[in-house]
Structure 1
Amino acid sequence: MSAAPRRNLAGALILGIPILWILVFMLLPYGIIVTYSFWIKKYPSFMPAFQLGNYVTLFTDPQYLQVMARTLKISTLVSLCSFALAYPFAYYLVFRCRSQALRTWLYMAVIAPLWVSYLLRAYVWKTILGTEGILNSFLISTGIIAEPSPVFLYNQFAMVVTLTYIFIPFMVMPIYTALEKIPRNLSEASADLGMGPWRTFLHVTLPLSMPGVAAGFTLTFCLSFGDFVAPFLVGGPDGNLVANVIATQFGAALNWPLGSALAIVMLIIVLSIVSLSDRLESRGNGGEF
């Protein structure tokens, strides 16, 4: 075999394996879920059909609308809280921290939790917020409360706190990267033109860092939107999100068609967020919106 056919064969193998992986483990499962979403549940199983009854149920049944609204609310709050904590931190590391060693240590302190089991990180907050946890113990020792309070656990507050802690690294990393790319001479030029620190931040730093902010919002929102472990551990009976309902439909309820329809709706929402974020990033990088 000559050199050219060998190169073509090697190229086909290099490209063929990942393409085959995507087809078998991504596109094929998606196709199966889309197909199931049009089927009908018929006890004790379900039967093939082509109807929109499952989607109609999702958008007319108040309990599913409530779950979707709760999921959007929790995901938005987690993204906003992560941004409120991550942006000042990343800004300090890039523009205010003079010690390279300290900057590295602080950045690694944020990234290090990603090396720890997700389940362990979620369970830690269940321990902290519990009636015998650190928070209640501190409040009792300072005399703020007389006995352990259950209000910190099994509610939406606990879910937002836990998910913010778990996903905040995904907000810090893109914002830090975007801020690092901003040329320092732009801030100096702004100061030379008579703009103070706040005006420089609002008109120079913040707009140029928006691609990183958009990427961080996308990551934290989508990860929170699809999470089901943290709501199970700290959310309580009224803390179910879309992913928990999908797991129930495929498990205890044995209603695969309805679970598939809900998964497709969830996928469309996530893809819409990713598409919007991509357009915002393109606009921030000088592309067409």
Structure 2
Amino acid sequence: MYALAFLAVPIIAVILFSFWTQDFMTLDRTFTLDNYREIAEKPIYTVLLQRSIYVSACVTLVTVILAYPIAYFVSFHVEPGRKSLWLFLITIPFWTSYLIRVFLWKVVLGYNGVVNSGLLGLGLIDEPLSFILYNVNAVIITLAHAFAPFAILPIFVALEKIDRSLLEASQDLGETRFTTFLRVTLPLSMPGLVAAVLIVFIPTIGDYVTPELMGGAGGKLIANMIQVQFRELNNAPLGAALALMAMVSVTAISLVFIFLNRRWLRRQG
């Protein structure tokens, strides 16, 4: 009942709104495809969606690649009595406001920020780098840091469930540590890896705070356009259509990823 009230009803409302039109304060509930025609005719919406998918894919790739070694180290090389401490340290960023973390990255990546000041002080650059703030690169860096704990924890849980005797048996049968990782550890940890990918990929497409503060004119994503339609242009139906388009795209990509992962696991088996 709660799932129906808090999930199904809002989605149905968005779907209905996407087939209506609005003229300032007047909402016309006549069924129409005008919103979707406008999306198809104006390339700006497609460009923003493609950019959003690209940014989310990059954030997911960077986050998972950096998260897996950390989760692996905590699971296999940290003493059992100290794993809780490590997990506690990993979750410390959650204690800080998301907005504060974004603003701190502005301080780090800014024209006179920590990175540029440090590189100038070391004599590695002659002038501050301009490509690390107010563009897509800054959005990817900030989102990767913000979602890192979301990737580490599910991978760690999956690694903890692996029976260590399987790893010992693999090495007893002549496998090296590297081949044991590829043929035993990685496939068995795949559920956590898939969870990490989905947990990071899905919400980053809908993030509009980081692109708004860090992206500049060239770093806006589809979520920023949805926000503009709802709040500034007072065109909720077009915003709903854009939201539905993004939702369908994310769902399709996620299902394809899950299908390919299952196919790979079957081949490994």
Q: Normalised by the size of structure 2, how large is the TM-score?
A: 0.90
Distance 2:158 2:171 in 1: 21
Q: Which residue does the alignment assign to 1:12? A: none
Q: Which residue does the alignment assign to 1:203? A: 183
CA deviations on 1:135-179 (whole Å, 9 max, x unpaired) are 111111101123433321101111110000000111101100001
Q: Which residue does the alignment assign to 1:254? A: 234
Amino acid at match of 1:270: V
2:210 counterpart of 1:230? yes
Secondary structure of 2:219's partner?
A: coil
**Relative to structure 2, which stretch is displaced further, 268-277 or 74-83?**
268-277
Q: Which residue does the alignment assign to 1:86? A: 67
CA deviations on 1:27-79 (whole Å, 9 max, x unpaired) are 33322221111112335644122122212322342100000000000000000
Distance 2:84 2:265 in 1: 27
Q: Could you say what the CA RMSD is over the residues aligned between the two structures, in angstroms?
A: 2.3
Structure number with the bigger relative contact order (C-alpha 8 A, sep ≥ 6) is: 2
Distance 2:63 2:216 in 1: 22
Secondary structure of 2:22's partner?
A: strand
2:248 counterpart of 1:268? yes
Distance 1:181 1:284 in 2: 21
**Relative to structure 2, which stretch is displaced further, 139-148 or 191-200?**
139-148
CA contact (8 A) 2:39 2:45 kept: yes
Shift of 1:99: 6.5
2:108 counterpart of 1:128? yes
Distance 2:135 2:61 in 1: 18
Q: Which residue does the alignment assign to 1:109? A: 89
CA deviations on 1:86-116 (whole Å, 9 max, x unpaired) are 1111111112234732x43332222111121
Distance 1:216 1:105 in 2: 21
Aligned length: 266
Shift of 1:121: 1.1
Amino acid at match of 2:200: T
Equivalent residue runs for 1:1-289 within 5 Å = 19=1, 21-42=2-23, 45-98=26-79, 100-101=81-82, 103-273=83-253, 275=255
Distance 1:277 1:180 in 2: 24
Shift of 1:283: 7.9
**Relative to structure 2, which stretch is displaced further, 53-62 or 174-183?**
53-62
Distance 2:247 2:127 in 1: 44
**Relative to structure 2, which stretch is displaced further, 61-70 or 275-284?**
275-284
CA contact (8 A) 1:211 1:280 kept: no
CA contact (8 A) 1:154 1:235 kept: yes
**Relative to structure 2, which stretch is displaced further, 140-149 or 220-229?**
140-149
Secondary structure of 1:41's partner?
A: strand
Shift of 1:23: 4.2
Which protein shows a greater Rg?
A: 1
Amino acid at match of 1:36: F
- Which blocks of at least 5 consecutive residues in structure 1 are unaligned? 1-18
Secondary structure of 1:148's partner?
A: coil
- Which blocks of at least 5 consecutive residues in structure 2 are unaligned? none
**Relative to structure 2, which stretch is displaced further, 206-215 or 89-98?**
89-98
CA contact (8 A) 1:79 1:164 kept: yes
Secondary structure of 1:152's partner?
A: coil
